[in-house]
Chain A
């Protein structure tokens, strides 16, 4: 009744092909932005920022990055953790080498370096596909982690091999280091996420995105209609790694503050982000958000309910949490293999017909 296209007249091509063609969607989008920028920063505290919002925002960036590669271009990757490590170590080297440059520039440069590394490891995708490509990217994961552990230059020869984010500011406001306020951390990540999401959305709607999807759906057919597989695959790896590198840089510098490559960027991270993409929905920007939210918030929520609410022992709660999250993943994939994004799509379809389904 309220949620419908009827009566929402489009008078230009621009209006017709906008991201949110339905008025209620547009209002929801604007409302979400207003809440995210106008209300949350004023009420957020350290716990909400560090346990909920900042990890959610950062993982959403990573999930968007991986979704471009896996969901849009159809290239399976298990190297996400390694590429995040590239972002983290790049931003660390830049932060310590050029302390006066604003941190945002370092983060973007770290993304750029990761993009270059991603292209390098993406080159095999021209020859190998599917599971074989997954194994090749798995090699990238292990190689990169080994590299950052092995070569002391990357961690500035510190005794423990840990990298620690020094305090850095932008416009006089602390963005990294212990003095950073919850709001600053949150807003910094939110701004980057907004830019990344807008960029990803518009890339995937344009020529580049259509090429990716053509390659994904059938690479031979795509080649016949004039899509260059080299440029399509390489751009997919570059853009995806750029976003993932940004996420890695933020994870280390803004969120964790100190990191150890094997622990923070191990194979588990690759799987976590791949699960986010699969549960959220392949080939959907909204799905990336939903998947990240699901896998970041659910454990925290369960922990607080089981330990904080019911007062259960922490080990029982931790094991139950693993079981519940695992079971939910299986249930989701059986009930809706296309992820949370598809559920959302179905819900919207139903809403359009409501209250008179025919």
Chain B
């Protein structure tokens, strides 16, 4: 009995390592369970639905179908490793784990195994420097861009002067939440505001003491770097202490319908960054409805259409598919390898004309990647929540990050990584 169990176990484990043949494989390392599921589900749905649309409407990319095997990570780094190892044998073209912790783990692995790691708006900020991080891309924007855009927005609200103001950063006490601190410290020095950092231990269901501290400190603005259940609790607590909602600005991961919903009317006026448009008014949704939703092929429960994180999952899928397409055009064949897709990412030229063609006019900023520039334009806009209409709407134009402050920081951090790993700089 013992032996047969062992044999069965071996067979079952082997079963997953057999590669799916002749497809373009883009694994979806998602999380639909655990404390971050509320945010992981819409993202994973948007990601999967976009590829389903390409398969159903266009027969894949360049005539090659796209397989999107899903693997549950539960935002857990150990499960993330397992997912990576179980899918990398299938010639996976790009990974998008939606977790800064898993990203840190995968950076050395993808560099050794030659797979692309695409981390739009998360991950290791300094991977924007393509000269050091050959296999990692994080355009269109990273955490430091986000921090800088938020500060620039605050400047614009205060007649370009933040002197003597107090800004509190409420952050997820993890790699993700700590990322913006260094930049915010620099910016505080430059613009003369005072920065107070307040950590929330993940998952962050209990934040009474943090918000008590905010009540005592009386900051002029609260910035939030939260994820998962922490966002909902923080917004609710902010409502409870009657903090003015329009002075609370979340990074793009702290601004979805799930985050503001539980606070109801109180969350009205809450602001968050975004590096893409939201809502289901784009022409692509007609196709999505026709080919994916009405055909019953939608991922998950199919109830996230057009919300912020769904749009973001779709954004990531769109960039990956455009990179694959660029690679196909460059090499002249459809069945591209991970190496060729990396070149595709590096030569990606996403224009407004192309976005219109895709049915997403004005959805995102243009990207012109180069060998050294894996970080993209670094722009974002501010969205504001309208609780009555249950809608996010843009209250600013695209704001560009302060590259004078960020570029030296990125150069410094990536140089440290290069030195640690003995990496020679490329792109010279």
Q: A residues within 8 Å of B by Cβ?
A: 45-48, 50-52, 55, 149, 159-162, 164, 166-167, 177-179, 255-260, 262-264, 297, 300-301, 303-305, 307-309, 313-315, 317-319, 322
CB distance from B17 to the nearest CB of A (A): 5
- Chain B residue nearest to A316 in the complex (CB): B32
- CB neighbours (8 Å) of B101 from chain A are 162, 258, 260, 263
Q: Are A160 and B108 CB-contacts (below 8 A) given A259-B77, A315-B72?
A: no
**Bound CA–CA A318/B32 (angstroms):** 9
Q: Contacting B77 at CB < 8 Å: which of A166, A167, A256? A: A256
CB distance from A4 to the nearest CB of B (A): 20
**Bound CA–CA A357/B301 (angstroms):** 58
> Can you add 20 more A-B contacts, CB < 8 Å, to A149-B199, A309-B15, A315-B32?
A46-B89, A48-B13, A50-B81, A55-B78, A159-B178, A159-B182, A160-B176, A160-B179, A161-B178, A162-B101, A164-B108, A167-B421, A300-B13, A300-B82, A307-B16, A309-B12, A315-B300, A318-B32, A318-B33, A322-B33
Report whether B105 and A51 are in contact in the complex, using a CB–CB cutoff of 8 Å.
Answer: no
Q: Contacting B15 at CB < 8 Å: which of A259, A264, A308? A: A308
- CB neighbours (8 Å) of A255 from chain B are 81
Which residues, 1 to 40 on B, are CB-close (under 8 Å) to A? 9, 12-13, 15-17, 30, 32-33, 37
What mask results when residues 40 to 69 of chain B are scored 1 for a CB within 8 Å of chain A, else 0? 010000000000000000000000000000
**Bound CA–CA A313/B181 (angstroms):** 38
Give the bracket for the number of chain B residues in contact with chain A: 35 or more
**Bound CA–CA A315/B100 (angstroms):** 21
**Bound CA–CA A39/B30 (angstroms):** 35
Which residues, 210 to 269 on B, are CB-close (under 8 Å) to A? none
- Chain A residue nearest to B110 in the complex (CB): A178
Identify 13 residue pairs between A and B in the complex whose beta-carbon atoms are under 8 Å apart, listed by A's number. Answer: A50-B81, A51-B13, A51-B86, A159-B182, A166-B420, A166-B421, A256-B81, A260-B174, A262-B173, A262-B174, A300-B13, A315-B300, A318-B74
Q: B residues within 8 Å of A by Cβ?
A: 9, 12-13, 15-17, 30, 32-33, 37, 41, 70-72, 74, 76-78, 81-82, 85-86, 88-89, 100-101, 104-105, 107-109, 111-113, 124-125, 173-176, 178-179, 181-182, 199, 201-202, 300, 413, 420-422
**Bound CA–CA A123/B100 (angstroms):** 38
Report whether B104 and A162 are in contact in the complex, using a CB–CB cutoff of 8 Å.
Answer: yes
Q: Contacting A179 at CB < 8 Å: which of B85, B88, B112? A: B112
**Bound CA–CA A115/B186 (angstroms):** 40
- Chain B residue nearest to A159 in the complex (CB): B182
Report whether A314 and B32 are in contact in the complex, using a CB–CB cutoff of 8 Å.
Answer: yes
Q: Are A301 and B13 CB-contacts (below 8 A) given A166-B421, A263-B101?
A: yes
Report whether B111 and A178 are in contact in the complex, using a CB–CB cutoff of 8 Å.
Answer: yes
Report whether A177 and B108 are in contact in the complex, using a CB–CB cutoff of 8 Å.
Answer: yes
**Bound CA–CA A52/B182 (angstroms):** 38
- Chain A residue nearest to B420 in the complex (CB): A166
Report whether A260 and B175 are in contact in the complex, using a CB–CB cutoff of 8 Å.
Answer: yes
CB distance from A58 to the nearest CB of B (A): 11
- Chain B residue nearest to A177 in the complex (CB): B108
- CB neighbours (8 Å) of A308 from chain B are 12, 15-16
Report whether B89 and A160 are in contact in the complex, using a CB–CB cutoff of 8 Å.
Answer: no
**Bound CA–CA A315/B42 (angstroms):** 13
- CB neighbours (8 Å) of B37 from chain A are 315
- Chain B residue nearest to A166 in the complex (CB): B420
Report whether A304 and B82 are in contact in the complex, using a CB–CB cutoff of 8 Å.
Answer: no
Report whether A159 and B179 are in contact in the complex, using a CB–CB cutoff of 8 Å.
Answer: yes
- CB neighbours (8 Å) of B74 from chain A are 318
- Chain B residue nearest to A49 in the complex (CB): B85
- CB neighbours (8 Å) of A46 from chain B are 85, 88-89
**Bound CA–CA A18/B71 (angstroms):** 47
- CB neighbours (8 Å) of B178 from chain A are 159-161
**Bound CA–CA A255/B71 (angstroms):** 19
**Bound CA–CA A284/B111 (angstroms):** 42
- CB neighbours (8 Å) of B71 from chain A are 307, 314
- Chain B residue nearest to A308 in the complex (CB): B16
Report whether B30 and A159 are in contact in the complex, using a CB–CB cutoff of 8 Å.
Answer: no
Report whether A263 and B125 are in contact in the complex, using a CB–CB cutoff of 8 Å.
Answer: no
Q: Are A159 and B32 CB-contacts (below 8 A) given A47-B85, A51-B86?
A: no
Report whether A263 and B174 are in contact in the complex, using a CB–CB cutoff of 8 Å.
Answer: yes
CB distance from B136 to the nearest CB of A (A): 13
Shortest beta-carbon contacts, A-B, top 3: A315-B32, A178-B112, A178-B108
Report whether B109 and A301 are in contact in the complex, using a CB–CB cutoff of 8 Å.
Answer: no
